């Protein structure tokens, strides 16, 4: 999964470029995952050049326990502190070429999950105009690629309880860059299946409604991407106390409209299940 285009003497990785449709899993919802997704030398170069926490914080001097902090493609592409190899990686993964690979693999699943979406936006998925998120211009989809760190853990906790991503996002992904000195348990991506009809409080759900279906371990050079819909419940396992941040790349495909709308708990259900609802029920922000 490495491109012919070179940056500073090394080819730029192109995730999904060599994936075939038969490699897409459909349970518990459409997704692709792979360990050791890049050749060792390419991954090692990216790992060495992954920015530190101070760079991602970009001037912030304080942060919370196990807090997600991000650096978007728009920030990265304009920041000369970020290596040419990484800036080329971000440029490709916010491009029309990358989107065409997403559609090649997931287009049929998008049509199943979001019937009528192409009609609403006036173009087939294959013909959608693509712009990096945060830039101006007309587009059906805006792509983002983000450096993300979960800050040091001072109290055992999960950075994300079971949820779906925001309703204007139809495709999400992550690429793990676990620090080789990190021996802390947890931080795995957990994929869930519904045990009943979907119901939410904003974008989160309750453990009584779902069962764990698959775990993508927080391991170096591990990649996962999936169709975001009401089916795509996922969360992160609690992480132990550590001074080492959890590092990964986040991938987003954002629309100008909502692709779906989660069925919400009604007033009486919120009262009945109050003790089970996570105290933090704010919308997921990416």
Q: Which domains does the chain have, with CATH numbers?
A: 20-276 (2.60.120.620)
pLDDT of residue 6: 43
3-state helix/strand/coil string of 148-187? EEECCECCCECCCCCECCCCCEEEEEEEECCCCCCCCCCC
What distance in Å separates the CA atoms of residue 82 and residue 98, rounded to the nearest whole number? Answer: 21
pLDDT at res. 1? 53
- At residue 269 the predicted structure's pLDDT band, cuts being 50, 70 and 90, is confident
Mean pLDDT in residue range 130-154: 96
Cα–Cα distance for residue pair 232/30, rounded to 1 Å: 8
Q: Do residues 175 and 249 touch, judged by C-beta distance below 8 A?
A: yes
How much is the pLDDT for 283? 39
pLDDT of 88 over the 60 cut: yes
> Each residue of 189-218: pLDDT tens digit?
999 999 988 888 877 887 788 999 999 999
Position 5 pLDDT exceeds 60 = no
**What pLDDT score was predicted for residue 277?**
64
Contact 188, 5 (CB under 8 A): no
Distance between CA 233 and CA 161 in Å, rounded? 10
Percent pLDDT > 70 in the chain is 93
Sign of CA dihedral 112, 118, 121, 123: positive
Dihedral sign computed on CA atoms, order 61, 63, 66, 69: negative
Q: How confident is the model at residue 278 (pLDDT cuts 50, 70, 90)?
A: low
Give the mean pLDDT of the chain.
Answer: 91
d(CA 174, CA 216): 10
- Average pLDDT of 6-29? 86
Q: Please write the tens of the pLDDT for every residue from 60-75.
A: 888 999 999 999 999 9
Residue 190: how many other CB atoms lie within 10 Å: 18
pLDDT (average), residues 138-142:
97
Place of tokens 């947890």: 186
> pLDDT band at residue 282, thresholds of 50, 70 and 90?
very low
pTM score: 0.91
pLDDT on residue 274: 74
Asked whether residue 4 carries a pLDDT value surpassing 70, the answer given is no
Other CB atoms within a 10 A radius of the CB of residue 167 amount to: 18
From residue 62, give the alpha-carbon distance in Å to each of 8, 127, 274: 34, 43, 32
Specify the higher pLDDT residue, 283 or 200. Answer: 200
CB crowding 117-143: b at 16 or more within 10 Å, else e: bbeebeeebeebebbbbeeeeebbbbb
User: Which range among 128-142, 173-187, 242-256, 267-281 shows the weakest confidence by mean pLDDT?
Assistant: 267-281
The pLDDT score that the predictor gives to residue 11 is 82
CB 88 within 8 A of CB 98: no
């Amino acid at each position: 999964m490495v491109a012919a285009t070179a940056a500073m003497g090394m080819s730029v990785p192109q995730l999904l470029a060599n994936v075939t449709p038969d490699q897409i899993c459909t349970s518990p919802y459409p997704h692709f995952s792979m360990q050791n997704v890049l050749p060792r030398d390419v991954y090692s170069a990216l790992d060495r050049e992954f920015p530190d926490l101070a760079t991602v914080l970009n001037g912030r001097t304080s942060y919370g326990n196990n807090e997600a902090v991000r650096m978007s493609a728009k920030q990265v592409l304009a920041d000369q502190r970020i290596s040419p190899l990484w800036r080329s990686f971000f440029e490709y993964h916010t491009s029309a070429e990358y989107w065409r690979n997403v559609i090649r693999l997931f287009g049929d699943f998008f049509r199943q999950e979001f019937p009528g979406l192409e009609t609403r936006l006036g173009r087939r998925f294959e013909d959608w105009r693509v712009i990096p998120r945060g830039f101006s211009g007309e587009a059906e989809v805006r792509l983002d690629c983000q450096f993300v760190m979960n800050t040091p853990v001072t109290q055992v906790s999960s950075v994300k309880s079971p949820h779906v991503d925001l309703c204007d996002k139809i495709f999400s992904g992550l690429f793990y860059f676990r620090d080789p000195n990190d021996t802390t348990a947890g931080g795995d991506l957990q994929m869930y299946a519904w045990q009943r009809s979907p119901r939410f409080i904003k974008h989160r759900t309750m453990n009584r409604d779902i069962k764990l279906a698959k775990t993508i371990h927080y391991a170096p050079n591990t990649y996962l991407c999936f169709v975001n819909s009401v089916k795509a419940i996922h969360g992160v396992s609690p992480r132990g106390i550590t001074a080492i941040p959890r590092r990964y790349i986040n991938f987003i495909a954002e629309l100008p409209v909502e692709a779906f709308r989660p069925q919400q708990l009604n007033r009486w259900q919120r009262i009945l299940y109050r003790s089970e609802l996570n105290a933090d029920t704010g919308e997921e922000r990416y």
